[in-house]
Amino acid sequence: MESNKNIIKNSSAIDRNEARRRAKEYAAKLAPRHKNDLVVAESATIEEDKFWVFIINSQAWIEKGNVMSQILTIPPLLVKKSDGSIHELPTAYPPEHYFDQYQ
């Protein structure tokens, strides 16, 4: 089941830096109160042939593990390399569970 929540779509391929920027921009719209505190968990970023998956949350949660600082409204974000479209992954299972839908 592919999410219909796409924020930005291009007709050309994008690189990892552009994908990260778009994912952070999308996350800021999901959690506007925290937009200045959001960081990408670089060690948790997943790269596949056709997409990246970014985990974005508060700096305190990602860097220090402060559970009280976790932002629950931001799911893992899958960004397609081919067009830059962004898809929210469900959180019932680890992100890898949904990869076949995007290959």
Residue-wise pLDDT tens digits, 11-45: 689 999 999 999 999 999 999 999 889 999 999 99
Range from 28-37, 44-53, 72-81, 85-94 carrying the lowest mean pLDDT: 28-37
Q: What is the pTM of this model?
A: 0.84
CA distance 86 to 51: 10
CA Rg value for the chain: 13
1 assigned to some structural domain: no
Q: Residue 36: which domain range? A: 16-89
101 assigned to some structural domain: no
97 assigned to some structural domain: no
Task: Give me the sheet containing 46-47, strands edge to edge.
Answer: 46-47, 51-54, 77-80, 86-88
